[in-house]
């Protein structure tokens, strides 16, 4: 998968990875409809925790709020299966976006930030999207899947539908970036943060401090309704507190947030 030197295989990701479980089992396919679907099926079959599904490209990549996610070759499209405690579920979004920020910095030296709730941005343009899906039954998490789509070796200018709002690592560094290297770094950091969470640590403060959104005037679109206000703070559950122009404070849980002006 991938081209030439930059090809992906299960072994190129998991060999000598040094993790306890995340990425110890990697299922790699050159092309999938969506890694979310395969990961969900694997989880239902009882896949070992930390199983990763990677696709060279996706033909039906899914984004947040029912959107299509562009997933050509050269990008990272992967899903990770976890079985967290219910109490840790809201932290998975924070944990995943922080791990992406760390991995981008470690591999490329680029400084990335988070647009609430979990868009990873470089210079205000989106470089990575994260989708967390879970199945909760009777107060326990049957499974959770973290989906990560990162624009790595992609010329954003070649895709008019995203070129004004998105960037890629290769666009930013001016050269090709190792896909396996980036995935490995990402998996190591996800496991580190996840183990820390289980040991009583929290990702909340670092996530909050990495948000570009706070203090800015924003428009939040939630279920077809637009709310305008100042992004005042975020709760430990990940919710965004918006101070509206009439002085009221509203909490937004799932929305699309754009900076105003």
Label residue 174 left, alpha or beta by phi (over 0 means left) and psi (-120 to 50 means alpha): left
- The CB-of-50 to ligand BTN minimum distance in angstroms stands at 16
The span from the CA of 218 to the CA of 253, in Å, is: 15
Residue 6 or 77: which CB sits closer to ligand BTN? 77
Residue 41 or 198: which CB sits closer to ligand BTN? 41
Residue 64 or 243: which CB sits closer to ligand BTN? 64
- The CB-of-205 to ligand BTN minimum distance in angstroms stands at 23
- Whose CA is closest to 148, among 72, 96, 193, 82? 96
Binding site for ligand BTN (CB under 6 A): 34-36, 58, 61-64, 67, 69, 71, 77-79, 119, 129-131, 147-149
- The CB-of-71 to ligand BTN minimum distance in angstroms stands at 6
- The CB-of-63 to ligand BTN minimum distance in angstroms stands at 3
Is 254 in a helix, a strand, or coil? Answer: coil
End-to-end CA distance of the chain: 41
In 83-124, the DSSP E strands lie at: 113-115, 119-122
- The CB-of-244 to ligand BTN minimum distance in angstroms stands at 25
Residue 19 or 58: which CB sits closer to ligand BTN? 58
Q: Is 216 exposed, middle or buried (0-12, 13-18, 19+ CB in 10 A)?
A: middle
- The CB-of-56 to ligand BTN minimum distance in angstroms stands at 12
Element counts in the chain: helices (H) and strands (E): 6, 12
Q: Are 78 and 55 in contact (CB under 8 A)?
A: yes
- The CB-of-96 to ligand BTN minimum distance in angstroms stands at 10
Is 66 in a helix, a strand, or coil? Answer: helix
Pairing of the two strands 52-58 and 26-32: parallel
Is 58 in a helix, a strand, or coil? Answer: strand
User: In the block, which residue shows the tokens 């706070």?
Assistant: 214
User: In the block, which residue shows the tokens 């122009």?
Assistant: 245
Closest chain position to ligand BTN (CB): 129
Residue 70 or 188: which CB sits closer to ligand BTN? 70
Residue 223 or 245: which CB sits closer to ligand BTN? 223
Residue 61 or 84: which CB sits closer to ligand BTN? 61
């Amino acid at each position: 998968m991938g081209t030439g030197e930059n090809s992906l295989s299960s072994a190129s990701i998991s060999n000598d990875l040094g993790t306890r479980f995340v990425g110890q089992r990697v299922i790699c396919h050159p092309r999938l409809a969506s890694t979310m679907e395969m990961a969900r099926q694997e989880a239902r079959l009882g896949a070992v925790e930390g199983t990763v599904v990677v696709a060279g490209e996706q033909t039906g990549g899914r984004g947040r709020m029912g959107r299509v996610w562009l997933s050509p070759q050269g990008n990272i499209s992967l899903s990770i299966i976890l079985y967290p405690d219910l109490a840790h579920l809201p932290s998975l979004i924070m944990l995943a976006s922080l791990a992406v920020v760390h991995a981008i910095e470690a591999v490329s030296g680029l400084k990335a930030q988070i647009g609430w709730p979990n868009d990873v941005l470089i210079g205000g343009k989106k470089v990575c999207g994260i989708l967390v899906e879970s199945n909760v039954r009777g107060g326990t998490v049957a499974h959770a899947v973290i989906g990560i789509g990162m624009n790595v070796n992609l010329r954003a200018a070649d895709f008019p539908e995203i070129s004004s709002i998105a960037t890629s690592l290769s666009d930013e560094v001016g050269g090709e970036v190792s896909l396996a290297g980036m995935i490995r770094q990402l998996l190591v950091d996800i496991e580190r943060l996840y183990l820390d969470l289980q040991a009583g640590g929290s990702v909340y403060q670092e996530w909050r401090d990495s948000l570009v959104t706070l203090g800015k005037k924003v428009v939040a679109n939630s279920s077809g309704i637009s709310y305008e206000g100042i992004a005042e703070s975020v709760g430990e559950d990940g919710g965004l507190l918006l101070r509206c122009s009439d002085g009221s404070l509203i909490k937004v849980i799932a929305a699309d947030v754009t900076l105003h002006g």
